[in-house]
Structures are given as C-alpha cells and as structure tokens.
Amino acid sequence: MTAKIRLYVEHPLGAGQSVPLDRDQAHYLFGVMRQGVGAQISLFNGRDGEWLSEVTEAGKRGGSLVAIQQTRALQMPPDLWVLFAPLKKARTDFIVEKATEMGAARILPVQTDFTNADRIRQDRLQAHAVEAAEQCGGTYVPEVAPLQKLERLLSNWPDRRQLMFCDEAEAGNNRSLAGAGPGPWAILIGPEGGFSDAERARLAALPFSYTISLGPRILRADTAAVAALTVWQQVLGDWG
C-alpha cells in the first residue's frame, strides 16, 4: 500500500521508527494538505526505500510520524551524471526537475565559455530535485553539485566514465550512440549560446567523449536536456 502523499525526510526509516517533522514539512502536511493525526503518508530518504507511515503528532510548527512498513525498496537510478550550463531561473529549475524524473544519479551545473550565469542557488535547486522525486515516485534524490568550470571538471574526469556530448553543430548529421558500451556515463548539454570552437575541439578530442546529434533541428537547451536523457535511457538506461 502506498499513500497518496509522499514526503522526503532526512531521518532514518525502519519499522516503528519515529520521524520528526520540521516547520516547513508540518506546514505542508497539516496546513496545505489538511492532514491530521492518523493520516497515512509515504516517506523516503534516498537510503531506506519507501515507508508507509502514520501521523502521530500534528502541530503548526512541527509534528511526527511513525514508520509502519516498507512499501518499496530503494531503487537506484543508472550511474548517469547530467552536466548543463545554467540558464534563466525557470529553465534551470526545469532541467533539474526533469533530470531527477528521468533517472539522473547526479546533476552538475557547469560554466562554459558562453554560460550567462556565474552563480546558482544550490540549495534551491536541491529542493527542486527533492520535490521532483516526491512527485514522480522515486526513492532516490540526485545530488545537485556546486557550480564549477567545465574545463576543471574535464581535467579531473573519473576513469571509465563516458561522456555523451550533445553538440548543436551536429544538427542534421547522423551522429548517435551506436557502438557505445555500458558503464558509468555523463550527458553534457551546452548553454543558450552553444559551445565555443575551443570547447568543441577539446571535447571531440577526449577519448571518453561521444559526440552526438539530437536530430535535424537545433533545440533549446532545456529541450535538449530532455531529448538527450530520452536517447540515453532508450539505448543504455533502465527503460528496457
């Protein structure tokens, strides 16, 4: 049995475990959703799966629940990173939400040569990832990493992780993931202004990089993120 309302908590979950609520969670459950003592809520923490829980205390500034039984085991996403250049606020939020829904394990904002934003609200983006996991039925919440320069990330790239480089300059060309193998992966989506010639040459020369096309039209960056995730999941992910 799964309750209609799902809530992410940081507290450990197990049979009989009491779970305290902070002020924001209490406001959401008791003020916005009009729940009270005895209501059943599904809780998850990204580690212990999903647990059917019951409200035992309900107040304006806090409350508590008790975990009754596990309804779903922890389901880890594929070992996939999503790298993207931050856009305007709503579009950045969209990418984080969709990356979470579509099975990213880690989300990494990067600064490229043509990135317009030089800072992000990491805490706000992490909260969007939590909300997306609550809505889509996920039991895992990807980390949203701090903003870092793309060049620095590539210089410290982990062994064995392959990179799907979505190059807008390849629009209309038949460049795909054909021949790519399993293992840890990352997807790179560029900024609104595209990649610089220097970045394009650097990425094309990397032994772990696969340059691909996302079709015959140049996509907006947030659309490209969804398209790229769909392509990767269909070929190498957990959709099969």
Task: Tell whether 105 and 30 lie within a shared domain.
Answer: no
Q: How many Å apart are CA 196 and CA 168, to the nearest integer? A: 11
User: Which residues span the domain enclosing 15?
Assistant: 6-72
How many domains does the structure of the chain reveal?
2
Examine residue 105 and state whether it is found in any structural domain, yes or no.
Answer: yes
Give the CATH number for residue 60: 2.40.240.20
Task: Tell whether 121 and 54 lie within a shared domain.
Answer: no
Q: How many Å apart are CA 72 and CA 36, to the nearest integer? A: 24
The confidence score (pLDDT) of residue 181 equals: 81
Task: Tell whether 228 and 134 lie within a shared domain.
Answer: yes
Task: Tell whether 84 and 67 lie within a shared domain.
Answer: no
Angle at 216 (CA atoms; ends 215, 221), nearest 5 degrees: 60
Number of C-beta neighbours around residue 69 at 10 A? 10
Buried/exposed code over 95-129 (b: 16+ C-beta within 10 A; e: otherwise)? bbbbbbbbbbbbbbbbbbbebeeeebeeeebbbbb
* Per-residue pLDDT of the chain in tens (240 residues, 90 and over written 9): 667 899 999 999 999 999 999 999 999 999 999 999 999 999 999 999 999 999 999 998 999 999 999 999 999 999 999 999 999 889 999 999 999 999 999 999 999 999 987 889 999 999 999 999 999 999 999 999 999 999 999 999 999 999 999 988 777 566 667 677 888 999 999 998 889 999 999 998 999 999 988 888 889 999 999 999 999 998 898 986
Examine residue 91 and state whether it is found in any structural domain, yes or no.
Answer: yes
Task: Tell whether 168 and 122 lie within a shared domain.
Answer: yes
DSSP code string of 128-141: HHHHHHHHHT-S--
- Single pTM value for the model: 0.92
Which single residue is written with the structure tokens 């790298």?
A: 83
Task: Tell whether 91 and 58 lie within a shared domain.
Answer: no
The confidence score (pLDDT) of residue 169 equals: 79
Backbone angles phi, psi at 191, to 5 degrees: -80, 180
Beta strands (DSSP E) in the chain are 6-8, 18-21, 40-44, 50-58, 63-72, 80-84, 106-111, 143-144, 148-149, 162-166, 185-189, 209-212
The confidence score (pLDDT) of residue 172 equals: 59
Q: How many Å apart are CA 28 and CA 128, to the nearest integer? A: 15
Task: Tell whether 58 and 141 lie within a shared domain.
Answer: no
Examine residue 1 and state whether it is found in any structural domain, yes or no.
Answer: no
Task: Tell whether 43 and 101 lie within a shared domain.
Answer: no
The confidence score (pLDDT) of residue 96 equals: 97
In one-letter notation, the amino acid at residue 180 is: A
Last residue of a domain, one of 72, 91, 112: 72
